[in-house]
A = this chain, B = another copy of it.
């Protein structure tokens, strides 16, 4: 993995992948006691940064590819489905049968064939391997794939440019971290393009495998299934490709509570006018409420996705009663 692969992904994505804005608000700066910038990846196609990696991977496939397959109940599914349709390729998305109806409907509406499996009784990987072999489909992994990491890295190229435009050459970059694809991609891009920007991954408190792994110096897993509302970034562990990059370039990790994430969702609504899902708000939550653990200076946070259930969003807005006058 190097910057050339990220630059190539950016070239393949030109005119397709959206350049997302870097937003800010004096009200957020006041809460944090420092300058806070938010990279609004929720405004990316399909509502999350996952489209970057999906487009990068799809656009790098050999010409004779007959179709693609992915496992996902969420943002990766929608990114792959749209990118596949735009490439004129069929896509199969393998989803747990209990995935939210809206995410299933969205993925199907973007042209994917959705295949449901029973989480308790069936082996997802076995289903996927059989389908991939039978139909000659290429597997698009959610994070542990060089072209996917390169695609997410294009977000880092934009951050480097936007920081320069804003006159910032030294800052902490907080990323919402699940499997580490976005975090690794951004870190690689910044290593090459903005050396003064240091990446620190942020996780939900009960899914802090990356923070612990960085301390331990080896890849640890979450032993207990997380119950966090930040479902989009809850993964068993970082990847074999992503973790060494995180280890070399990122850290220390930070964690936030669900309550802090929901408050960050509400503040992004109120002050930035963007819709962020709880898992996409952990970085902003750490910037706003975890300042004592950060070095001085400005913070740039990814708001990595916005695919939130209206009921959960409503719950976050109820938090606002406590925010008047903030």
Contact = CB atoms under 8 A, between A and B. Distances in A.
B26 A82 contact: yes
Contacts of A42: 273
Number of copies of this chain in the oligomer? Answer: 2
Interface stretch (A145-153, A181-189, A309-317): A309-317
Contacts of A276: 273
Contact of A273 (B26, B101, B165, B274): B274
Contacts of A26: 82, 110
Interface stretch (A16-24, A194-202, A204-212): A16-24
Of the listed residues A21, A43, A47, A310, the one surrounded by the most CB atoms of chain B closer than 10 A to its CB is A310
A269 B82 CA distance: 19
Contacts of A131: none
B324 A317 contact: no
Interface in A37-93: 40, 42-43, 47, 82
Nearest to A325: B105
A320 interface: yes
A62 to B, nearest CB: 26
Given A40-B43, A43-B273, 18 more contacts: A15-B165, A19-B21, A21-B21, A26-B82, A26-B110, A27-B106, A105-B324, A269-B310, A269-B313, A270-B310, A273-B274, A273-B275, A273-B276, A273-B306, A274-B274, A310-B317, A313-B317, A314-B317
Those 5 A-B pairs whose CB atoms lie nearest each other, nearest first: A273-B306, A273-B275, A42-B273, A310-B317, A310-B320
15 contacts: A18-B21, A21-B21, A26-B110, A27-B109, A42-B273, A43-B273, A43-B274, A269-B275, A269-B310, A269-B313, A273-B275, A274-B274, A313-B317, A314-B314, A314-B317
